[in-house]
Structure 1
């Protein structure tokens, strides 16, 4: 064996666990060669290297958002009204009108315009407004009632005006409560005239439209006075299928407790 080959063979046997056949030139011959596994080099840290993973943090849970209901939502609406962002009676229902008002306030304050009230927006609103009064939280109505129809001046009457879009609960000529209402569209108009309550249903669901009609008080066939979540959320952009919609749930609930079967209902212009 030539000296050079012998030296290379001895070196190969001394380095690895598995022998590698080497030619005179020192290159593998490709026949029955086994190479020990090698650890891949780490990727370069140049401009093509993937950025390090960033820790993700969940978004803070909103204090109030679309669909929220209750006294705090009513307070939110009253405070937004103090600043001119909410031009409606507080209803305690967080719908599209409230979402639009919140976005306007957030834009003014330089906050993310999510339409949902985060803690930062709620703190900013409270700092810029005062505690709403009871009248601000429960206003009689956003619309002028005007002169009562003469049919509403005696006895206990649910007096409903299409001219002012209001319902007044009148007891012996005195207005005990008032609330905003909306009516049916031109294709399903609310009937006018003098009627009487035929039956009441606290948790009524329409068998025709399969929609909730809480605190329903029926006065003319399938037409009733009832609370409408859609009216509370969208205001006068919508219409009923002929019923008289009320958007203040607390007021219609109180009226439901006062009204009995046979109570007179007057719907007029």
Structure 2
């Protein structure tokens, strides 16, 4: 078995379908997500934002038709029976990988997929909107997240700030004005102007963990 593929035991007793309920079973689900590598802030039994985002990431990875972040019967069964940690396309090096097909962000360390985050990339639509930083100016473009191999080239460690097309949180730029940044809206589909949205707690963790320093390679692909 390749070194990038890591086996994990199935869960016994099986996990229950809890929807978004708090409690001991939620803590078991959180612990399972962490074991598999889907980032969640902790296994405290509070079914909050990061748990819902992690479940949505798991559902996206597994190819569920309508990932909604709720633990229904199929999700509980899949979490219980998954016996391999998730694997991104990269199988060597240390990098950030963004899969636009699955709408997921992977952290790959020494060729192994360590963490998977829910993400939302550019929606591919044209836009014409006011420049939030230059009154009277209009910005037009297409909402694309550029594919290819890039690098983190600038960053802003402070909290929210007004980007040209709206508020963004603690961005790490990797090509032009396109960044991985925190957002209050990370749906199960591409929704941004081109940036890669993750949750605000996830962005805080990215900064605090040091997992995405300056010059980090960022590989963006369509997942095909």
Q: TM-score range by the shorter chain?
A: 0.5 to 0.7
| Cα gap change, 1:131 to 1:268, in 2 (>3 Å) | same
* Higher Cα Rg, which structure: 1
Deviations 1:86-145 (A, max 9, x none): 4xxxxxxxxxxxxxxxxxxxxxxxxxxxxxxxxxxxxxx66xx53522642783132227
The secondary structure found in structure 2 opposite 1:216 is strand
- Is the 8 Å Cα contact of residues 105 and 119 (structure 2) preserved in structure 1? yes
More helix by share: 1
Do the aligned partners of 1:204 and 1:216 also contact (CA within 8 Å) in 2? no
Query: Is the CA contact (8 Å cut-off) linking 1:160 and 1:166 kept in structure 2?
Result: yes
Task: Say if 2:121 and 2:145, in contact at 8 Å, map to a contact too.
Answer: yes
> What secondary structure does 2:213 align onto?
coil
Name the CA shift for 1:238/1:265 in 2 (closer, same or farther; >3 Å): closer
Q: CA deviation at 1:264?
A: 0.1
Which runs of no fewer than 5 residues in structure 1 stay unpaired?
Answer: 1-80, 87-124
Scaled by the length of structure 1, the TM-score of the pair is 0.46
1:255 pairs with 206, 210, 214, which one? 206
User: In 2, Cα distance between the equivalents of 1:210 and 1:250?
Assistant: 19
- Structure 2, unmatched stretches of 5+, are 1-15, 39-56, 63-85, 126-142
Over 3 Å counting, the alpha-carbon distance change for 1:182 and 1:210 in structure 2 is closer
Q: Distance in 2 between matches of 1:242 and 1:138?
A: 32
TM-score, normalised via structure 2 length: 0.55
1:227 shift after superposition? 1.2
**Could you say what the CA RMSD is over the residues aligned between the two structures, in angstroms?**
2.6
Which of 61, 73, 76 aligns to 1:144? It is: 61
Provide the secondary structure at the position in 1 that maps to 2:188.
Answer: helix
* Rounded Cα–Cα distance in structure 2 between residues aligned with 1:236 and 1:260: 27
Q: How does 1:184-203 map to 2 (within 5 A)?
A: 184-187=122-125, 188-202=143-157, 203=159
Partner of 2:113: 175
Aligned residues: 141
Cα deviation, 1:9-65, whole Å, max 9, x if unaligned, reads: xxxxxxxxxxxxxxxxxxxxxxxxxxxxxxxxxxxxxxxxxxxxxxxxxxxxxxxxx
The higher relative CO (CA closer than 8 Å, separation ≥ 6) is in 2
Post-superposition offset of 1:204: 4.8
